[in-house]
Structure 1
Amino acid sequence: MKSTKKDKDALKAYRERVQWILENSKNGVFESPQDRQSAVERAKKDIGYMVKRYFSHIADCESGAFQIQLAKMVRRNPTFKGFAEWPRGFAKSVWCTIFIPFWLHINGQTEYFLQISNSFDAAADLLDDLRAELEANEKIIKDFGPQKTIGKKWERGYFITASGLIGRALGIGQKVRGLRVGNKRPDLCEVDDLETEEINGNPARQDKYAKWIERSLIPTMTGKYRRLLWSNNRWAERMVQTVLQKKHPKWKVHHVKAYDPATLESLAWPQKYPKSYWQNQIEELGTLACQAEYNQEPHTEGKIFTDNLFRYEKLPRIDSYDAILGYWDVAYSDKDTADSNAVRIWGRKGQNYYLVKSFVRQCKMTDAIEWMFLYSATLPESVSLSFHYESQFWNDALSMSYRTVRDKYGRDIPLIRDDRTKGRKYDRILTLLPYYQQGRIIYNTAEQSSDDHQVGLAQLKGIEPGYKCHDDGPDADEGALDKLNRIYVPTDKNNRPTAGGHRRQTRY
């Protein structure tokens, strides 16, 4: 068959990879046969050591605890089915397509590795990385002998090593019936980077591929070892992997978040990404983008509160509103799964409502209170701003937090309890919808790109029947508008208050 340009490019890339491995995998340390054998036995037991010994040219830092944890899970369970939902840049593919398959093979737990991706070429590119290591890695050759041998398959997308490892690449949906070499059938299937934007936008295709995994791919494995390993970060609400996860709740979802968004602590891989790295990423990309890419908290377009309802304008002067106030939706915990502390500053002028400023963060109560103190200090003397919160939240913890901040600044702010009886939260938030539909809610153009505003907006978009997202920003919005409607003084056409000093006409 005549080679295409794509074939030639792939071969060129493979040869360059082999040459790079030859140059970077050399081991100049002398070892006696006994020392070498001891090292091999240790590598079989300890994957962290195995990565150091054979793949230090790839791994430029210490392995993360989460990576080692998943590898051990896979090895312990001969019928493992699970997902490496790791953030972008956390070496999902390297671990799941090179390190773990190689580790299982040297432990005698895999002989036929099937690599799957969204196309044959994508799968073959992944498999070629493992093939190149087996061909050119000097450390592997010294410990296990040459793996490329004359007379055995050694081509793009298909190889058989001297030690008996078979590697095949397949695109999603390709025929898998009859996949065997002699008496060997696949015993490890790895699905990597399957979800393209094209697939993600087509639920019917997602369901079709999920069914292919269940009814075609998994049944090709018939022996003692029948493992399915899936590497893909969760960047959308609905993916092929989430379809499978819902249908198979016992399959392992190894979901890793890069950092705690509230504190930038609890780092998943501090050996590679220190706290300063995440601080810079958040500054460059914004909170929502980082949450989606690195903490895998995707957000989809709203079904009720849609983009066409959101109106941005330059706001009136801060001292020109008929009424202005802040509303705080309190959260006690700063854990990454906890609610946010949401403080929203709303003003009303005429029949319109203006979102002036936002604070929506997973943080300690003291952080929210301090923000209120600092914001109120920026206002001119002609503006009197009170902050309201639900009375049910006042307790010793909140009182102590308030006193801490008050003592720090040596003054008070008007913090007022909202004692109204509230109905179901979803129904209350839906009362905002008519205001949006009538164009009476206006957002501050100057705040459009701020993280706090975007987080609150994302929460609002997520409000729909049965929603599971955080709702702290919208809840604070509803509280603020309810309060504005209760205290608002209407004006006549000359912008004069009609309350007070008005004599009712006497009529008979």
Structure 2
Amino acid sequence: MAKQSDKRHLETWEIFRNNIAKSTPVDLNESEIQKKKRIAALEADPEKWFAYYFPSYYTAEPAPFHKKATKRVVENPEWLEVRSWSRELAKSARTMMEALYLSFTKKKKVWLMISNTEDKAKRLLLPYKNILESNNRIINDYGVQKQIGKWEDHEFCTKFGFSFRALGAGQSPRGTRNDAARPDAIIIDDFDTDKKCRNKDRVKADTDWIQEAVIPTRSVSVPLLVIINGNIIHKYCTITIMGELADCWDIVNLTDKSGKPTWSKNTPAMIRAMFYNSKGKRKISKKAEQKEYYNNPSAEGDTFKQFLYGKCPPLKKCEKVVTYVDPSPSNNKEKNSSSKAVVIVGLHDGKYYGYKVWLGKATNSEMVGWIGQAYNYLERNGIDAKKMFIENNSLQDPHYQQVVKPLLEKYRKEHGVKLPVREDKRKKADKFERLENMADDNEDGNIIFNEKEKENPMMVQMEDEWLGVSKDSKEMDGPDAFEGAKTMMDTRVVKDDLGYASGPIESRRY
């Protein structure tokens, strides 16, 4: 007796087949001469062929990278292509249309569909099978394709003469033939998994299997096309290994460096709604966004294992309080510009509390406004001696003198408040090395962030950056500002009976 889940699965695909049939009407009054002429015109232009035979998939104008990719695989019978296209960029759908185009134009004949498991490979192959069974336009132009006795979920051969076989990692592909023909086209899709990528030996073994067992099923005298679809979900994975060996490793993110969608079908509003709710809070983590949509596995940090929220003591009870500013010379909010950060950190009973965070792409004027907000926060919470520092090494000094100082003066004139910002001119070590020094305190629960700020989008970004800290991370401005505040408290800010004093701490070790 079939399982209930199997019945639902079959019902879902039955609906899918019916929808394919309904979406592909044909002209029954077309003459044979007209049909042949139309088919020839379609086969001469892959994009028109896709649009005619796959109206359910070809629902939007393709992006330039789509067309270039198809041109490469159509014009190069011997080709290895790795497509690290973001989710929502139709890499599997376009590959399917290309595979069927190459099959019906008799450029490829014997296909392997490879995935992490055989079940996954069969699921990837199922749309092909259903289209061949139910697409009225394909049936009208190329004939009925289903062959009784050669039509299984894991392997089928069409009446037109081409075949597909599904294989999971590690299965033997040996003996795959269609009559005397060996595989001349291989699709590898969704092969890497998070679990596998945490084990380098498994990654190597599965990649070796592709190179030593799958690809050698080919015939030496027949060109082989290999298309590998997958995001870069880990620094060491099958995609990164095969990408280096490919004729073309096509890396396309959801948006370009300026934040513009790489496919116009996905509007900026749609993209934002995918990541944030109506209140501006993230629906998925920055780590997941970067890995799945931006081919950036370095967003999955290996330094800080937790971002601890907790109740902060009243700010006035802290032994030390420091506001630290991490500026950047950019003066725009473009996606590829550096972030700016302002943090308020307090030390109480050996624990460092992150009370407030301002973090993001901002103009220099907005950053000074954040410093003003930090000043007011300290004022409201009874902090009279306000210790505020801004990072300003020798390379940053021209920007500070020419841009930031005039803006601080402008703020004084407009608000009647002189922001007591002091320069932190220390020569600092490498950013990652400095952040790594906080790992023990973080692991021991000595770094705590204000639970009242948990819903603040800027604190959410701080959490994303914090958990994403690694040697290859590109966004660590928030954690860097926190480290600056912590270091100032540990080395330069001293509390005495009269308030705060600032300066080097005298060594009394000897």
**TM over 0.5, yes or no?**
yes
Residue 427 (structure 2) aligns with: 421
Residue 490 (structure 1) aligns with: 495
Q: Structure 1 414/104 Cα, relative in aligned 2: closer, same or farther at 3 Å?
A: farther
Secondary structure of the 2:276 match is helix
Equivalent residue runs for 1:94-105 within 5 Å: 94-96=93-95, 98-105=96-103
1:481 aligns with 2:479: no
Q: Structure 1 367/12 Cα, relative in aligned 2: closer, same or farther at 3 Å?
A: same
1:275 aligns with 2:268: yes
Residue 25 (structure 1) aligns with: 24
What is the alpha-carbon distance in structure 1 between the residues aligned to residue 227 and residue 304 of structure 2?
A: 38
CA shift, 1:219, in A, is 1.0
Task: State the AA in 2 paired with 1:274.
Answer: T
What is the alpha-carbon distance in structure 2 between the residues aligned to residue 17 and residue 170 of structure 1?
A: 23
Query: Of residues 203, 206, 209 in structure 1, which corresponds to 2:206?
Result: 209
> Under a length normalisation based on structure 2, what TM-score does the superposition of the two structures give?
0.81
Residue 112 (structure 1) aligns with: 110
Residue 218 (structure 1) aligns with: 215
Equivalent residue runs for 1:224-263 within 5 Å: 224-245=222-243, 248-259=244-255
Q: Structure 1 472/42 Cα, relative in aligned 2: closer, same or farther at 3 Å?
A: farther
Larger mean Cα displacement after TM superposition, 171-180 or 407-416: 407-416
Structure 1: tracts of 5 or more residues without a match: 501-508
CA deviation string 1:457-481 (max 9, x = no partner) = 45445556x5454433333223222
Q: Structure 1 243/352 Cα, relative in aligned 2: closer, same or farther at 3 Å?
A: same
What is the alpha-carbon distance in structure 1 between the residues aligned to residue 181 and residue 365 of structure 2?
A: 62
Share of identical aligned residues, percent? 24
Q: Structure 1 35/347 Cα, relative in aligned 2: closer, same or farther at 3 Å?
A: farther
Secondary structure of the 1:56 match is coil
1:432 aligns with 2:435: no
Equivalent residue runs for 1:67-466 within 5 Å: 67-96=66-95, 98-148=96-146, 153-222=150-219, 223-245=221-243, 248-259=244-255, 265-271=259-265, 273-284=266-277, 285-286=283-284, 288=286, 289-298=288-297, 302-307=301-306, 310-321=307-318, 322-330=320-328, 332=330, 336=335, 339-349=338-348, 351-362=350-361, 365=364, 367-377=366-376, 380=379, 382-383=382-383, 384=386, 386-391=388-393, 392-395=395-398, 399=402, 410-411=414-415, 413-433=419-439, 435-436=441-442, 439-448=445-454, 450-461=456-467, 463=469
What is the alpha-carbon distance in structure 2 between the residues aligned to residue 445 and residue 162 of structure 1?
A: 65
CA shift, 1:300, in A, is 7.1
What is the alpha-carbon distance in structure 1 between the residues aligned to residue 152 and residue 207 of structure 2?
A: 29
Structure 2: tracts of 5 or more residues without a match: 278-282, 503-510
What is the alpha-carbon distance in structure 2 between the residues aligned to residue 359 and residue 432 of structure 1?
A: 20
Contact 1:114 1:190 in 2 (8 A): yes
Contact 1:71 1:100 in 2 (8 A): yes
CA deviation string 1:221-241 (max 9, x = no partner) = 224431221223333444332
What is the alpha-carbon distance in structure 1 between the residues aligned to residue 368 and residue 184 of structure 2?
A: 57
Secondary structure of the 1:354 match is strand
Secondary structure of the 1:489 match is strand
CA shift, 1:149, in A, is 5.0
CA shift, 1:137, in A, is 1.2
Contact 1:80 1:227 in 2 (8 A): yes
Q: Structure 1 162/397 Cα, relative in aligned 2: closer, same or farther at 3 Å?
A: farther
Secondary structure of the 2:297 match is coil
Q: Structure 1 380/11 Cα, relative in aligned 2: closer, same or farther at 3 Å?
A: closer
Contact 2:84 2:249 in 1 (8 A): yes
CA shift, 1:218, in A, is 0.8
Secondary structure of the 1:82 match is strand
Contact 2:86 2:295 in 1 (8 A): yes
Q: Structure 1 44/130 Cα, relative in aligned 2: closer, same or farther at 3 Å?
A: same
Task: State the AA in 2 paired with 1:52.
Answer: A
CA shift, 1:94, in A, is 1.7
Residue 43 (structure 1) aligns with: 42
What is the alpha-carbon distance in structure 2 between the residues aligned to residue 347 and residue 293 of structure 1?
A: 36
Contact 2:493 2:500 in 1 (8 A): no
Larger mean Cα displacement after TM superposition, 392-401 or 292-301: 392-401
CA shift, 1:184, in A, is 1.2
CA shift, 1:121, in A, is 2.7
Secondary structure of the 2:494 match is coil
Task: State the AA in 1 paired with 2:480.
Answer: D
CA shift, 1:167, in A, is 1.5
What is the alpha-carbon distance in structure 2 between the residues aligned to residue 228 and residue 498 of structure 1?
A: 67
Residue 506 (structure 1) aligns with: none
What is the alpha-carbon distance in structure 2 between the residues aligned to residue 29 and residue 170 of structure 1?
A: 39
Residue 64 (structure 2) aligns with: 65
Residue 505 (structure 1) aligns with: none
CA deviation string 1:205-256 (max 9, x = no partner) = 22211111010111112244312212233334443323434xx344533222
CA RMSD of aligned residues (A): 3.8
Larger mean Cα displacement after TM superposition, 470-479 or 114-123: 470-479
Contact 2:495 2:501 in 1 (8 A): yes
Secondary structure of the 1:58 match is coil
What is the alpha-carbon distance in structure 1 between the residues aligned to residue 108 and residue 45 of structure 2?
A: 17
Q: Structure 1 232/353 Cα, relative in aligned 2: closer, same or farther at 3 Å?
A: same
Secondary structure of the 2:391 match is strand
Q: Structure 1 170/350 Cα, relative in aligned 2: closer, same or farther at 3 Å?
A: closer
> Under a length normalisation based on structure 1, what TM-score does the superposition of the two structures give?
0.81
Larger mean Cα displacement after TM superposition, 297-306 or 276-285: 297-306
Q: Structure 1 389/179 Cα, relative in aligned 2: closer, same or farther at 3 Å?
A: same
Q: Structure 1 139/468 Cα, relative in aligned 2: closer, same or farther at 3 Å?
A: same
Larger mean Cα displacement after TM superposition, 222-231 or 235-244: 235-244
